[in-house]
Amino acid sequence: MNYIVFDLEWNQSPGGKSKENPKLPFEIIEIGAVRLNENFEQTGTFQEVIRPLVYHHLHFRMKEVVPVSEDELMKARTFSRVARDFLEWCGDDFAFVTWGNLDVLELQRNLDYYRIPYSFGKPLLYFDLQKLYSIRYSDGKKRLALEDAAGELGIPKTIPFHRALDDALYTAQIMEMMDFDAVKQYVSVDYYKLPENREEEIYLDFPTYSKYVSRIFPDKNTAISDKNVSSLGCPKCKMPVWKKIRWFSTGNSGVYLGLVKCPRHGFIKGKIRLKKLPDERIFVVKTTKITDQETADEIRKKRADLQEKRRQIRRRKKS
């Protein structure tokens, strides 16, 4: 299997949100990629600028960041031609590697907009090296910019950043230098093409937590009441658990917490994130993780604080 380390540069409506094409908010204007074999050796590169057909002028932020001129873009080939060549160059047996979680999504959205057939598998699993770098060298939550990570590893900055191939080359170097095998089990799942039914729902088990991605629900209440969404068990042994704190809304938009206790592995923290689609429908990403007494106490306190806040609001309304 090969690794396709790729980076995209994209443009957006120079006239702002009101003049945006809702089917293509971000239009790809450059693809850069590095192909690595299983030994992380480079076996090829791909780079091409793309002529925009939706947003003909660059957004002012793109002019500040990406060193490509509108004249260069107008002389380039269109996305349909470039994308077909890119997919052929990728081959049949590969996994995508990106710095961050947006490039895979925008690639698919652009492919669909131009009706270019592709088959990336469902669910589409890929490696978000930005996340893996954080798991390997930090707390798993902090996200470094590509340039900062390259600096931490002492990679010479001999080429500029913010061109697609250059950023892909830096990402590939980081992948070669870090202990990728130690963190590759933390694969990422893309949410662009979601499960269409209960049978397609996604369950992923990692060394330190489990993840569930639901099918699409018509609204929040239907999602929360679904048994697959509301269940909370031990991600390690799947044994029956003691219910400690039922799911409660944290006050943050669409985030719920829950707590149970496994007789074998201790406290289990659950987190539900309700994610809204453009048409207002809902899907759920749920994570379950073995945790400690301190975190369990924090969850208890958070629920108690929220309950007291709601009581005070009710009292004020009555008075």
Enumerate the domain spans of the chain: 2-182, 196-318
Q: Are 161 and 99 in contact (CB under 8 A)?
A: no
Per-residue pLDDT tens digits for 234-286:
998 878 788 889 999 998 789 999 999 999 999 999 999 999 999 999 999 99
Please tell me the class of the 2-182 domain: alpha beta
Which region holds residue 285: left if phi is over 0, alpha if psi is between -120 and 50, else beta?
beta
Beta sheet of 209-213, edge-to-edge order: 202-205, 209-213, 282-290, 266-276, 255-262, 242-249
The predicted structure's pLDDT at residue 58: 87
Q: Which of 24, 69, 64, 32 is nearest to 51 (CA)?
A: 69
Q: Which two tokens stand for residue 116?
A: 């270019």
Average pLDDT of adjacent 10-residue blocks, the chain of 319 residues? 96 90 95 96 96 90 79 93 98 96 97 96 95 94 94 90 93 95 96 95 94 96 95 87 90 90 94 95 97 95 91 83
pTM score, two decimals?
Answer: 0.90
Q: Are 152 and 174 in contact (CB under 8 A)?
A: no
